[in-house]
Chains A and B, each alone.
Chain A
Amino acid sequence: MPERTMAATEIARQAGEGARAVPLSGHVGFDSMPDQLVNKSVNHGFCFNILCVGETGLGKSTLMDTLFNTKFEGEPTQHNQPGVQLKSNTYELQESNVRLKLTMVNTVGFGDQINKEDSYKSIVEFIDAQFEAYLQEELKIKRTLHSYHDTRIHACLYFIAPTGHSLKSLDLVTMKKLDSKVNIIPIIAKSDAISKSELAKFKIKITSELVSNGVQIYQFPTDDETVAEINSTMNGHLPFAVVGSTEEVKIGNKMVRARQYPWGTVQVENENHCDFVKLREMLIRVNMEDLREQTHTRHYELYRRCKLEEMGFKDTDPDSKPFSLQETYEAKRNEFMGELQKKEEEMRQMFVQRVKEKEAELKEAEKELHEKFDRLKKLHQDEKKKLEDKKKSLDDELNGFKQKKTAAELLQSQAQQAGSSATLKKDKERKNFF
């Protein structure tokens, strides 16, 4: 089997850092490498995550059902949600020997609120959360990246309401916020409401608005020759005008998926009726792998870079000595410990201060108490003295009175005696008289 040899210049270009190209003199067999790689991936299974953003009632769930030819679970949501929530469902599909873990995330309540300023926030948070989970896994010491269930959003289908005029400001704002985080594929939902001529004008208006607002939507890759042509044609058909339907109608002698109106039937898979086939082609059959790769190499790397820079890591310092993540981490850790210690010191000092103050206060109070006590004591003593004086004087008085009393009593007794003697005398005298 003659091997295809590339032109020497091409091989030399591939050589890169000084690797010479050598011709082979026989069949070696490493051209089975892509097959080996593919087989391993097939054994492993694939995963694909789609995010559907759009107002309630635009047919997101129906379109997903139509795209993947199944009836996914769930019922239509109500219109009275207080905020935008994201509901995700995972399904396992299998076709021939390819197993696909498909996750579909739906925005519930998008565009239903009166004040829609924060509608985009929950979507952005969700996407970031998936990136964060992957980043955490990647930064672990013991990690199992090759068996990690990748939940990062690979494609975001943005559903545009078929007004026929232009994009709503909510659409512009949301897409602007999402374009650096996820691959956006805008589609016009329920496009059977627009006539063909209006549709062309609508598409042009949308594209020009997106361009003038600097919204980066996903461009199908055109660097691989086998798909470059079809991809560039499709790039011109964006946004795709789709119609979804899970009901089947008999057309001719076949059952096709369609929407039946009194004036005709819109066939989902008829390229003249809508761009559904193009969407399916581009999303699944041609570019699924590229969408996954873009998510990993562009959006995820951007997120990672921003996140790590935010955390304070940097790649090289001015002396051009490359830091390792670990070193920076050590430095940060030491810094943090230092800060911690400083804070501890401060707190300790504050505590000491407070204690001192309290002590001083208490001392003051003690002193006051002492003074009061002294005063009271003195008062007490004075009172006591006064009372004693009074007592003394009273005693004196009492003594004096006693003396007087005794004196008086003596006198009285003397007087009595004298009286009695006097009476005696008197008696004598009387006697004498006689």
Chain B
Amino acid sequence: MSEIVPPEVRPKPVVPAKPSHVAPPSGAPFLPSPQGTGGEGRGSALLGYIGIDTIIEQMRKKTMKTGFDFNIMVVGQSGLGKSTLVNTLFKSQVSRRSASWSRDDKIPKTVEIKSVSHVIEEGGVKMKLTVVDTPGFGDQINNDNCWAPISKYINEQYEKFLKEEVNIARKKRIPDTRVHCCLYFISPTGHSLRQLDIEFMKNLSRVVNIIPVIAKSDTLTLEEKIEFKQKVRKELEVCGIECYPQKEFDEDTEDKSDNDKIRETMPFAVVGSDKEYQVNGKRVLGRKTAWGVVEVENPNHCEFSLLRDFMIRSHLQDLKEVTHNIQYETYRARRLNDNGGLHPINSSGHDTQESNL
């Protein structure tokens, strides 16, 4: 009984049964195929088992071998528990807590961007996780344009990727440092969004996938939580801010209904912790207070597990794809079409002509 947490039942996505043996000898079993018609192309009726569906297995093996990259950015005022939450999400010390800074450390004058990479492995799947921290955001007295360095960083990553993609002799696997997901921490005031929050999300929601979370939500009661969330959702709608998952990128009705459910519960009210306590004979992650223990993974206490399931277990690949297929493509199209662009990172001083290669 050295288990830390009781093994959760992972929702196994629907995957067709893989053939357990490799080479069926002569007299192959003729499995009746359910549908044998094609779309607008010429359809052909299948008369027996070919083995096309093994491509799934082949693909899975290949992706497991190569591993994944995932880059997450955390934005929010200091003290909102960003690093703790990331550590809790990925169950490891991937983010250094600023509480460990000494008091003599200077508060950064501008927003700094610090990115740290770790390799984590689970179930044979390797992931290179990069956490981008933004100390100094919202901490000054005058916070004008404090999202500018963040915006610049994100665009720089797109630029790096673009430059690599445009090379003549390019690498087999272009290193992907683009920010796939940005967790924005909302202070649990219980009133409404701050001006800074709105401005940040307005400026960046079209550039990166933003997932807003209500930090340190154990200071809100259930009713306050519900009210606050409604207010936040309303305000986001009024300002025209689309957080991930964006409505316009829903691919089909199934997606839409899944994502609608998520959108109803966003922003997630989370609590982070990396300390364990004994509750009812089990060891759980939680925060111990005088009036009880807030269990992080208890869906009645906070929505951390919802966030984790949503972000990691079901939409991880989707986050990457939206970043690659939509945000990056938008950036690329804009960049290639640019007329005296607005990018401060552009050192080459590109000309203003339209280029359509």
Contacts and interface: CB of A to CB of B under 8 A. Distances in A.
B292 interface: no
A28 B124 contact: no
Given A41-B59, A73-B42, A256-B27, A286 B127 contact: no
A33 B336 contact: no
B198 interface: no
A30 B350 contact: no
A14 B325 contact: no
A6 B318 contact: no
Interface residues of B, number: 103
B39 interface: yes
23 contacts: A14-B126, A16-B128, A19-B117, A20-B117, A24-B92, A25-B91, A29-B312, A30-B316, A31-B123, A37-B317, A39-B15, A94-B36, A141-B332, A281-B22, A286-B58, A290-B62, A293-B62, A297-B172, A305-B169, A315-B168, A324-B350, A327-B350, A330-B350
A421 interface: no
Interface string B52-67: 1111101111111101
B56 A38 contact: yes
Given A301-B170, A326-B336, A254 B27 contact: yes
A22 B94 contact: yes
A319 B319 CA distance: 39
Given A46-B55, A69-B47, A90 B28 contact: no
Given A271-B25, A314-B168, A42 B56 contact: yes
Interface string B116-160: 011111111111101000000000000000000000000000000
A14 B45 CA distance: 46
B281 interface: no
B353 interface: yes
A15 B314 contact: no
Contacts of B26: 256, 267, 269-271, 277
Contacts of A31: 122-125
B38 A91 contact: yes
Contacts of B46: 68-70, 93-95
A289 B42 contact: no
A288 B355 contact: no
A25 B44 CA distance: 51
Contacts of B355: 141, 326, 329-330
B89 A98 contact: no
Contacts of B353: 330, 333
B10 A29 contact: yes
B357 interface: yes
A293 B10 CA distance: 31
Contacts, number: 299
Q: Is chain A's binding surface mostly helix, strand, loop or mixed?
A: mixed
A143 B162 CA distance: 14
A269 B27 contact: yes
Contacts of B90: 24, 28
A94 B60 contact: no
Contact of B52 (A28, A284, A314): A284
Kindly list the 4 A-B residue pairs having the minimum CB-CB distance in the complex, ordered from nearest: A92-B38, A31-B123, A19-B117, A70-B44
B238 interface: no
A29 B121 CA distance: 10
A19 B177 CA distance: 13
Contacts of A289: 55, 58-59, 62
B43 interface: yes
B15 A4 contact: no
A25 B348 CA distance: 46
Given A14-B67, A325-B357, A29 B313 contact: yes
Interface of B: 4-5, 7-8, 10-17, 19, 22-23, 25-28, 33-39, 41-56, 58-65, 67-68, 70, 89-94, 117-128, 130, 163, 166-170, 172, 251, 308-309, 312-318, 321, 325, 329, 332-333, 336-337, 348, 350-351, 353, 355-357
A169 interface: no
B306 to A, nearest CB: 13
Given A35-B60, A95-B53, A96-B33, 10 more contacts: A27-B122, A29-B308, A72-B44, A73-B42, A91-B43, A94-B38, A94-B46, A140-B357, A224-B61, A322-B167
Interface in A262-310: 267, 269-271, 277, 280-281, 284-290, 293, 297, 301, 304-305, 308-309
Interface of A: 1, 3-6, 11, 14-43, 46, 67-73, 89-98, 100-101, 139-143, 145-146, 224, 226, 230, 254, 256, 267, 269-271, 277, 280-281, 284-290, 293, 297, 301, 304-305, 308-309, 313-315, 322, 324-327, 329-330, 333
Nearest to A278: B23
A271 B36 CA distance: 28
A286 B22 contact: yes
B121 A6 contact: yes
A385 to B, nearest CB: 79
A36 B17 CA distance: 16
A271 B51 CA distance: 17
Nearest to B70: A30
A309 to B, nearest CB: 6
Contacts of A287: 58
Interface centre among A34, A38, A92, A146 (most CB of B within 10 A): A34
A284 B314 contact: no
Given A19-B118, A95-B49, A327 B56 contact: no
Contacts of A315: 167-169
B44 to A, nearest CB: 4
Contacts of A226: 61
Contact of B118 (A21, A93, A100): A21
B195 to A, nearest CB: 35
Contacts of B37: 92, 94
B7 A27 contact: yes
Contact of B39 (A92, A254, A324, A325): A92
Contacts of B43: 91-92
B16 A96 contact: yes
B351 A69 contact: no
A28 B122 contact: yes
A104 B253 CA distance: 33
A392 B55 CA distance: 124
A39 B61 CA distance: 14
B42 A30 contact: no
Contacts of B172: 297
Contacts of B314: 32, 36
Interface centre among B45, B53, B128 (most CB of A within 10 A): B53
